[in-house]
Amino acid sequence: MSTLAFYVHIPYCVRRCGYCDFNTYTPAELSISGDLSATSRSYIDLLLREIEFARETSTASVVPTIFFGGGTPTLMEAADLGRVISTIGSHFELDPDAEVTTEANPDTVTKEKLAQLREAGFNRISFGMQSAVPHVLQALDRTHNPENVFKATTWAREVGFKEVSVDLIYGTAGESTCDWEVSVDTALALPITHISAYALIVENGTKLEAQVKRGEVIMPDDDQTADKYLLADEKFTAAGFNWYELSNWAKPGSESRHNLAYWNGDNWWGAGAGAHSHIDGRRFWNVKHPAAYSQKVLESGNPMHEQEILTLEEARSEEIMLQIRLATGLDRAALSGDEQGSLSGFLSDGFLDGEAWARGAVVLSKTGRLIADRIVREILL
């Protein structure tokens, strides 16, 4: 049976973080006054229309994972998010063991709301922790109280979430190695099963980029950022979290199955404003602004903006870039003799796992993960 994962984009945030370039909008930017209840209902109604359109155009039968991202999905009413899950289940066959995830801001949930999310069908939740250090959160324009992360993760486990994840960001201006160690240790003290840790990237068009260009913010050097990655990996591993993707660690059996679908090149449908989809080598993406999304969905059910068909060469390059990020690595047989030869230096220098190479796989060593992009470029030259 063919499968189709679903990504559901909720494009609303209370405020915009200075480093973020995601397709999100604040109530002020959209001239929304009061609470988001009415917006929640109307936007969810649009998502249901798009899901109906997905059913009309897709030949897939089984949905193994659903992931609600944003934005801040937990700004929406739990019952409204539940309507999306039930609609997907009514138009497709929802796997009995389906992984259903929502991202969450610790400040936007209560124990009652978490219980409502669990009742609505969610079984996995990922909290945007980012840091446990107040001045680092301030530099990131994050507004949540660090103490709320402990409360939120504890409540999540108490109401029945077996899979609880937190996201961390390292490499913020002004963050010392000691600050980062505090964040890592604080995260490991939480009742969680999964951790993501991402290096802060200065994205084009963000407030952070403007601050860097004006010299108001000085980003740390690459060596310090690499040291923070290695420190985190050492502590995560010692605490029983296994590395399985470049920036992700999990307790055994708690890997994000939805994200693995992306890295393995599976099919997924992205519903919502600005969401991207991939179906059998065809990529397409929706119009970005919620107003434009609403107009197109109401007109035809189809909010697509543009699409592209990957060539065989493009698909192969993408497979290499994604597979090498995984702990399982890349099949050596997928590379030509010349491509394998181009990796000999990385192998002898310890950037690739020698035992895995002997077994026929290209797997990054711990230090190799720090130069993953460089290794991929060498393969694809």
Check pLDDT > 80 for residue 36: no
Which tens digits make up the pLDDT trace of 296-320? 999 999 999 999 999 999 999 999 9
pLDDT band at 40 (very low <50, low <70, confident <90, very high): confident
Check pLDDT > 90 for residue 205: no
Which tens digits make up the pLDDT trace of 18-34? 888 888 888 778 877 76
Check pLDDT > 90 for residue 124: yes
Phi-psi region of 127 (alpha: psi -120 to 50; beta: other; left: phi over 0): beta
Contact by Cβ (8 Å): 317, 377: no
Q: Which CATH architecture has domain 313-380?
A: Orthogonal Bundle (1.10)
pLDDT for position 253: 97
| Domain range annotation of the chain | 5-263, 313-380
Contact by Cβ (8 Å): 5, 269: yes
pLDDT for position 331: 95
CA distance 8 to 232: 30
pLDDT for position 114: 98
The whole-number average pLDDT for the span 2-14 is 94
One-letter amino acid of 302: N
The CATH number of the structural domain formed by 5-263 is 3.20.20.70
- Count of other CB atoms within 10 angstroms of residue 268: 25
Check pLDDT > 70 for residue 17: yes
pLDDT for position 317: 95
The whole-number average pLDDT for the span 366-381 is 95
Contact by Cβ (8 Å): 141, 16: yes
The count of residues in the chain is 381
pLDDT for position 78: 95
pLDDT band at 1 (very low <50, low <70, confident <90, very high): low
Mean pLDDT rounded to a whole number for the chain: 94
pLDDT for position 141: 85
SS (H, E, C) the chain: CCECEEEEEECECCCCCCCCCCCCECCCCCCCCCCCHHHHHHHHHHHHHHHHHHHHHCCCCEEEEEEEEECCHHHCCHHHHHHHHHHHHHHCEEEEEEEEEEEECHHHCCHHHHHHHHHHCCCEEEEEEECCCHHHHHHCCCCCCCHHHHHHHHHHHHCCCCEEEEEEEECCCCCCHHHHHHHHHHHHCCCCCEEEEEECCCCCCCHHHHHHHCCCCCCCCHHHHHHHHHHHHHHHHHCCCEEEECCEEECCCCCCHHHHHHHCCCCEEEECCCCEEEECCEEEEECCCHHHHHHHHHHHCCCEEEEEECCHHHHHHHHHHHHCCECCCEEHHHCCHHHHHCCHHHHHCCCECHHHHHHCEECECHHHHCCHHHHHHHHHC
- The torsion angle over the Cα atoms of residues 243, 249, 250 and 253, rounded to 10 degrees, is -50
pLDDT band at 208 (very low <50, low <70, confident <90, very high): confident
Indicate the burial class of 312 (C-beta count within 10 angstroms; 0-12, 13-18, 19 or more).
exposed
pLDDT band at 38 (very low <50, low <70, confident <90, very high): confident
- The torsion angle over the Cα atoms of residues 187, 188, 191 and 196, rounded to 10 degrees, is 60
CA distance 241 to 82: 30
Q: Model pTM? A: 0.95
pLDDT band at 246 (very low <50, low <70, confident <90, very high): very high
Check pLDDT > 80 for residue 144: no
